[in-house]
Amino acid sequence: MGGRARWADGFIAVDWGTTNRRAYLMDSAGACTAEFEDGKGILSVPAGGFPDAIADIRGRLGDHPLLLAGMIGSNRGWIEAPYVPCPASLDDIVEGIVWASERRDAIVPGVSFVGDGRADVMRGEEVQLLGAVASGMIPANGLVCHPGTHNKWASVVGGKISSFRTVMTGELFSLLKDHSILSDLLQRDVEPDEAFRSGVRRALDHDAQAELFGVRARVLLNQSPRDEAASYASGLLIGSDVRIGLAGNPAGRVVIMGRPELTELYAAALGEAGASFTEVDGERCFLAGASAIAERLNDVRAS
């Protein structure tokens, strides 16, 4: 089992989340030559089922070493990889890797932050963040916004994740849409339109918690069209999120990292807040991060 050769010859990178997983076959030149995505997130894997779930990946992409990132390393996943505390560099992440079996299945740890009277955790985003720095896609110092069910604001200092904050904005909107008194008003698709932007502006200097019930009252009292309620409510929550994220970082550019369909609302909100920003594709960042880690694993195996 020539470990060094195996990683250098190619590997499979997996971003294994709670409800989905995405697997990429990386060749020896660092290019992605095959990939798939499916709904086999960690919550869908039965007890003791991870070896089969992993064999399934190798069955589809080949018998290569596996780099497993995301919730797979959480206490609900396969094998727990303890969080690496901030400030966290790519080397720190590599040092924190937990080897599951035969040193061929590498489980990437998440990152934790404790300070300022609060605590926070991430799993999966660290590969994207540090990969983007390592490949020069984002600068070594700056603020990154990573939209998703749980939006992350990460401060990168000297190429390390120095601190971060999770705002569960996407989940709050889903809860309101699926289960709340606002539910019937929130079924339309949210667009970064003027209704969304007016919600953002409102939340830049008002508390979203104070404004949400008004979404319903505005419609009842004919102050606002019913079909604008979903975008306005989303604007309230994302505008509040952007206010929170920018609070500790008044100056400088923001990098928005993620899938384009997730980033456009945050781009619109940051625009309303007067912040300058650039966007980078989260999947490219993940592949850059996975490649940078695999390179270091090669070095580790050689030493």
H or E element in which residue 58 lies: helix 50-61
**Interacting residues with a second copy between 166 and 185 (CB under 8 A):** 166-169, 171-172, 175-176, 178-181
Q: Is 135 exposed, middle or buried (0-12, 13-18, 19+ CB in 10 A)?
A: middle
Residues 6+ apart with CB under 8 A from 119: 112, 113
Closest contact distance (angstroms) between CB of 149 and a second copy is 8
Closest contact distance (angstroms) between CB of 172 and a second copy is 7
- Is the backbone peptide bond immediately before 192 cis, with ω within 30 degrees of 0? no
3-class SS letters over 91-106: HHHHHCCEECCCCCEE
Closest contact distance (angstroms) between CB of 81 and a second copy is 13
Report the residue from 140, 217, 227, 299 that binds a second copy according to the rule CB under 8 A. 217
Report the residue from 66, 144, 200, 208 that binds a second copy according to the rule CB under 8 A. 208
Residue at 99: amino acid letter? W
Closest contact distance (angstroms) between CB of 292 and a second copy is 26
Choices 155-163, 240-248, 260-268, 269-277; region in contact with a second copy by CB under 8 A: 240-248
120 part of the interface to a second copy, by CB under 8 A: yes
Residues 6+ apart with CB under 8 A from 83: 109, 110, 111, 112, 121
- 186 CB neighbour count, 10 Å cutoff: 20
Q: Is 303 exposed, middle or buried (0-12, 13-18, 19+ CB in 10 A)?
A: exposed
Find the radius of gyration of the CA atoms of the chain: 21
Could you give the 3-state DSSP secondary structure of residue 37?
strand
Report the residue from 213, 225, 227, 259 that binds a second copy according to the rule CB under 8 A. 213
Closest contact distance (angstroms) between CB of 2 and a second copy is 38
β-partners of residue 120 are 113
Torsion on CA atoms 79, 84, 90, 95, rounded to nearest 10: -60
Residue at 54: amino acid letter? I
117 part of the interface to a second copy, by CB under 8 A: yes
Report the residue from 5, 31, 43, 114 that binds a second copy according to the rule CB under 8 A. 114
55 part of the interface to a second copy, by CB under 8 A: no
223 part of the interface to a second copy, by CB under 8 A: yes
Nearer to a second copy by C-beta: 34 or 217? 217
H or E element in which residue 203 lies: helix 194-204
Site string for a second copy, 132-171 (x = CB under 8 A): ------------------x--------------xxxxx-x
Choices 47-55, 189-197, 220-228, 276-284; region in contact with a second copy by CB under 8 A: 220-228
The Cα–Cα gap between 68 and 163 comes to 23
Closest contact distance (angstroms) between CB of 165 and a second copy is 6
Closest contact distance (angstroms) between CB of 259 and a second copy is 20
Q: What are the structure tokens assigned to 120, written together?
A: 């926070």
Binding residues (CB under 8 A) for a second copy: these are 75, 83, 112, 114, 117-121, 150, 165-169, 171-172, 175-176, 178-181, 202, 207-214, 216-218, 220-221, 223-224, 237, 240-241, 243-244
